[in-house]
Amino acid sequence: MAPEWPIGESKTYQQKLLIPGTNKRKLFGILEKPNLPPSAPSVTYKIFMFGKASSGKTWTMNRLSGQELPSQHIETAGIQCSNVYWPMKIGNRLILFRLEIWDAGDSSVKRYNHILPACREGVDAVLLCFSVIDRESWTELPRLLSSATQPADRAAKIAVATRYDQFSHREVTEAEMESFEAVHGVPILKLGGTGDDHSDELTHTAPILNFLCKRLWQRDQELLSVKQ
């Protein structure tokens, strides 16, 4: 069992992710990063979004990076990457997480053999997306789980249920999701909403990013303890 880490919300530091005077997230260029105390170390992780076409991979990536959410399905051509910075206190220590998110369009993954190996190479976590209103995206999950990583990768695996707020159209039950979590040991993050409420974007997204970074940190500790 992984130890429980005391996680601080680091709200003051989260303000450094915004365009000054607004609630909008700033896009950091390749040579830029949020202005945190120099003593805060930064750690980089590669995250791969995997799932059926229209399951919400691009939607989720945009949600995590605070960018505009797609209102309709536009197939992602090839691989699209986005960097997300997230400051978090672990114990007494402030750490700047840099998540390099790789989003590959499903039709490109199926059409070109090089896409999946490129996404899997050196991956730290895989986010397996399914939509609760698309049964097929859910039934595909066990197959995706085995093809998302290779046994030696030891990547963290997290499933993401999108359109979770669309209760009346749901095609996946709570009991099925609970059973999946228990059988595969893979937690399911539940996302939804329209993203219309821009005033509070960071408050909505913070629990998801906290969960993800905490999971990555725990995985590092587990890997270190295996090596010792």
Ligand X SMILES: Nc1nc2c(ncn2[C@@H]2O[C@H](COP(=O)(O)OP(=O)(O)OP(=O)(O)O)[C@@H](O)[C@H]2O)c(=O)[nH]1
Helices (H) and strands (E) in the chain, counts: 8, 7
Name the residue nearer to ligand X (CB basis): 4 or 68. 68
State the residue number with the nearest CB to ligand X.
56
Tokens of 106: 């499903």
3-state DSSP assignment of residue 199: helix
Residue 194 contact, options ligand X, Mg ion, none, Cβ 5-8 Å cut-off depending on partner type: ligand X
Per CB under 6 A, the list member of 53, 118, 133, 145 interacting with ligand X is 53
Name the residue nearer to ligand X (CB basis): 96 or 191. 191
CB of 94 to Mg ion, least distance (A): 33
The neighbouring-strand residues paired with 79 are 104
User: Could you give the C-alpha distances from 126 to 19, 120, 187, 196, 227, in angstroms and in order?
Assistant: 29, 9, 12, 27, 22
CB of 58 to Mg ion, least distance (A): 3
> x/- string (CB under 6 A) for ligand X, residues 164-203?
---------------------------xx-x---------
Where b means 16+ CB within 10 Å and e means fewer, 126-148 reads bbbbbbbbbeebbebbeebbeeb
Per CB under 6 A, the list member of 12, 35, 72, 113 interacting with ligand X is 72
Per CB under 6 A, the list member of 124, 125, 163, 201 interacting with ligand X is 163
3-state DSSP assignment of residue 25: strand
Query: Whats the size of the chain, residue-wise?
Result: 228
Per CB under 6 A, the list member of 17, 46, 50, 58 interacting with ligand X is 58
Q: CA-based Rg of the chain, rounded to a whole angstrom?
A: 17
Please give the full DSSP string across 151-175, using - where no structure is assigned.
GGG--EEEEEEESTT-GGG--S-HH
CB of 228 to ligand X, least distance (A): 39
Name the residue nearer to ligand X (CB basis): 10 or 54. 54
CB of 197 to ligand X, least distance (A): 12
> x/- string (CB under 6 A) for ligand X, residues 125-144?
----x---------------
Name the residue nearer to ligand X (CB basis): 32 or 136. 136
Residue 12 lies near ligand X (rule: CB under 6 A): no
Residues in contact with ligand X by CB under 6 A are 51, 53-59, 69-73, 75-76, 105-106, 129, 162-163, 191-192, 194
